[in-house]
């Protein structure tokens, strides 16, 4: 319980801090007064100091943080957000989501640097594990063997191997492998015969191996590009999943939306999995996924979110004059109320799922 709660607070605080840091830096650059930059939510525990008109503080509720801009809905104040030019307001509003997307790119890039990139010079299916008592073990296949041919068919990818094996169960298949001697640094080519089984044990395949591809170290540009593509994939999938559910006539609940409780439980599961496997990659992936999601959600044209405020700036540009600040503030207040109701609903659903044992897990 403590691990789950602590992990959740750390992860959410990082995401919120990065988001608010974006607002803070761009607001300062555009001469908008930042009255407070706080870690956590009030009441205030410690005032760290004051500089340039900004109070830096640590608050009692250790859940994220916030940036308080002067006059967010009052253009009459000097140095207020509402009095700033439209370009400056747009920049400030976009800065938070930009930082969340940037964090996601960096974390996905870090995973690419840790994992490496597929080595095109070493095609084939790389055996990572061999199940005891499997046809692969009986044939003499070993972890580290790279399957490059089955019978007379070349193997370039893991899909090639899976497809061929699936259509030849119960038959003797000749597997040509490249085996590396790590001591001598040499490779030899062997041909071993195995009979893929038609009814393998649960959790195993016909041959009884876990396969991957040969990897090589990734360069920094490759890793960054992988980070960009992975972040873009998260954004695309966020839109594709609801569209697919609507097309199939399935409830939107199947999209896997979670409230704070659900995210906290999943965070704890991810941290425990990472600790058990002695790797930080599950944590990096999960935080990157959350960061991209936070960025996208804040871009939605919903009052109270950054995207909702951007809509009002756009309307101001179209109309040639701004909507009355008091009215705009009321709309954002209503929007925040609806978001809180949605959060409450998701929290209730998550708690109910946990009690009934139907809470979905992203951990295999």
Residues 292 and 307 in one domain: yes
- The answer to the question of residue 40 being in a domain is no
The number of CA neighbours under 13 Å toward the Cβ of 136 is: 25
For residue 66, the cross-strand partners are 38
The residue-averaged pLDDT of 227-232 equals 95
Q: Would you place residue 153 in the very low, low, confident or very high pLDDT band (cuts 50, 70, 90)?
A: very high
Residues 290 and 204 in one domain: no
Question: If we measure between CA atoms, which residue out of 98, 155, 100, 86 comes closest to residue 126?
Answer: 155
Sign of CA dihedral 63, 64, 69, 74: negative
Q: What is the pLDDT, as a whole number, of residue 353?
A: 78
Residue 90 has pLDDT above 90, yes or no: yes
What is the tens place of the pLDDT at every residue in 311-333? Answer: 988 988 888 888 887 788 888 88
What is the tens place of the pLDDT at every residue in 59-74? Answer: 887 666 788 889 887 7
| Of 59-63, 94-98, 211-215, 234-238, minimum mean pLDDT range | 59-63
Q: Would you place residue 352 in the very low, low, confident or very high pLDDT band (cuts 50, 70, 90)?
A: confident
- CATH number of the domain to which 209 belongs: 2.30.42.10
Domain boundary among the residues 160, 185, 216 is at: 216
Distance CA 298, CA 157 (A): 39
Q: Would you place residue 193 in the very low, low, confident or very high pLDDT band (cuts 50, 70, 90)?
A: very high
Q: What is the pLDDT, as a whole number, of residue 12?
A: 86
Q: How far is CA 360 from CA 7, 81, 265, 297, 349, in A?
A: 19, 42, 10, 21, 12
Instruction: Judge contact between 176 and 147, C-beta under 8 A.
Output: yes
| Of 38-47, 142-151, 268-277, 284-293, minimum mean pLDDT range | 38-47
Q: Would you place residue 221 in the very low, low, confident or very high pLDDT band (cuts 50, 70, 90)?
A: very high
Residue 44 has pLDDT above 90, yes or no: no
- The answer to the question of residue 137 being in a domain is yes
Residues 23 and 108 in one domain: yes
Domain boundary among the residues 169, 190, 216 is at: 216
Residue 173 has pLDDT above 80, yes or no: yes
Distance CA 178, CA 124 (A): 9
Distance CA 13, CA 256 (A): 22
Task: Provide the domain limits for residue 101.
Answer: 2-33+70-116+233-356
Distance CA 226, CA 241 (A): 22
Please enumerate in sequence order all residues whose Cβ is within 8 A of that of 193, keeping only pairs 6 or more positions apart, or say none: 139, 172, 173, 174, 175
Please enumerate in sequence order all residues whose Cβ is within 8 A of that of 132, keeping only pairs 6 or more positions apart, or say none: none
Q: What is the pLDDT, as a whole number, of residue 211?
A: 93
Residue 274 has pLDDT above 80, yes or no: yes
Residue 246 has pLDDT above 70, yes or no: no
Q: What is the pLDDT, as a whole number, of residue 344?
A: 85
Instruction: Judge contact between 3 and 282, C-beta under 8 A.
Output: no
Q: What is the pLDDT, as a whole number, of residue 159?
A: 92
Q: What is the pLDDT, as a whole number, of residue 75?
A: 82
Supply the pTM of this predicted model.
0.82
Q: Which helix or strand (DSSP H or E) is residue 345 part of? A: helix 325-356
Distance CA 153, CA 174 (A): 10
Between 98 and 344, whose confidence is greater? Answer: 98
Residue 130 has pLDDT above 90, yes or no: yes
- The answer to the question of residue 226 being in a domain is no
Instruction: Judge contact between 274 and 283, C-beta under 8 A.
Output: yes
Instruction: Judge contact between 256 and 359, C-beta under 8 A.
Output: no
Residues 209 and 290 in one domain: no
Residue 178 has pLDDT above 70, yes or no: yes
Q: What is the pLDDT, as a whole number, of residue 242?
A: 64
DSSP E strands in the chain: the ranges are: 34-51, 54-69, 117-118, 125-130, 146-150, 153-154, 173-181, 186-194, 209-212, 215-216
> How many residues would you count in the chain?
364
Residue 303 has pLDDT above 80, yes or no: yes
Q: What is the mean pLDDT of the chain?
A: 87
Q: What is the pLDDT, as a whole number, of residue 13?
A: 84
- Paired tokens of 128: 């990572």
Residues 148 and 245 in one domain: no
Peptide bond into 38 cis (omega under 30): no
| Of 117-121, 182-186, 341-345, 356-360, minimum mean pLDDT range | 356-360
Number of domains the chain contains: 2
Measure the N-to-C terminal CA separation of the chain; round to a whole number of Å: 21
Please give the full DSSP string across 3-35, using - where no structure is assigned. Answer: HHHHHHHHHHHHHHHHHHHHHHHHHHHTT--EE
- The answer to the question of residue 42 being in a domain is no
Instruction: Judge contact between 9 and 63, C-beta under 8 A.
Output: yes
Q: Which helix or strand (DSSP H or E) is residue 231 part of? A: helix 220-248
Q: What is the pLDDT, as a whole number, of residue 258?
A: 76
Residues 112 and 237 in one domain: yes
- The answer to the question of residue 339 being in a domain is yes
Residue 363 has pLDDT above 60, yes or no: no
Q: What is the pLDDT, as a whole number, of residue 203?
A: 85
- The answer to the question of residue 168 being in a domain is yes
Residues 110 and 136 in one domain: no
Residue with tokens 């009690």: 355
| Of 140-154, 193-207, 315-329, minimum mean pLDDT range | 315-329
304 three-state secondary structure: coil
């Amino acid at each position: 319980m403590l691990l789950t709660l602590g992990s959740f607070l750390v992860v959410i605080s990082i995401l919120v801090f990065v988001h608010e840091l974006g607002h803070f830096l761009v607001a300062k650059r555009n001469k908008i007064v930042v009255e407070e930059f706080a870690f956590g939510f009030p009441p205030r525990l410690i005032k760290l100091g004051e500089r340039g008109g900004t109070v830096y503080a640590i608050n009692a509720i250790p859940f994220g943080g916030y940036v308080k801009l002067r006059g967010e809905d009052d253009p009459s104040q000097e140095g207020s957000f509402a009095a700033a030019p439209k370009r400056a307001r747009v920049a400030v509003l976009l800065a938070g989501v930009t930082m969340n997307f940037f964090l996601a790119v960096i974390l996905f890039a870090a995973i690419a640097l840790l994992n490496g990139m597929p080595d095109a010079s070493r095609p084939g299916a790389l055996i990572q594990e061999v199940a005891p008592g499997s046809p692969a073990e009986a044939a003499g296949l070993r972890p580290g063997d790279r399957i490059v041919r089955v019978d007379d068919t070349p193997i370039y990818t893991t899909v090639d191997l899976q497809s061929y094996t699936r259509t030849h169960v119960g038959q003797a298949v000749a597997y040509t492998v490249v085996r590396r001697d790590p001591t001598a640094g040499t490779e030899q080519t062997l041909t071993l015969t195995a009979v893929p089984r038609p009814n393998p044990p649960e959790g195993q395949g016909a041959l009884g191996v876990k396969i991957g591809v040969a990897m090589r170290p990734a360069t920094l540009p490759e890793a960054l590009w992988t980070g960009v593509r992975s972040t873009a994939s998260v954004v695309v999938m966020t839109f594709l999943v609801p569209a697919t559910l609507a097309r199939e006539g399935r409830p939107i609940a199947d999209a896997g939306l979670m409230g704070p409780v659900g995210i906290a439980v999943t965070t704890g599961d991810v941290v425990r999995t990472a600790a058990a496997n002695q790797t930080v990659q599950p944590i990096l992936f999960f935080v990157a996924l959350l960061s991209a999601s936070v960025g996208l959600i804040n871009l939605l044209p919903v009052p109270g979110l950054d995207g909702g405020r951007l809509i009002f700036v756009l309307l101001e540009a179209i109309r040639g004059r701004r909507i009355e600040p008091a009215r705009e503030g009321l709309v954002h207040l209503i929007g925040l109320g609806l978001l809180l109701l949605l959060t409450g609903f998701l929290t209730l659903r998550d708690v109910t799922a946990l009690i009934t044992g139907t809470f979905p897990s992203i951990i295999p």
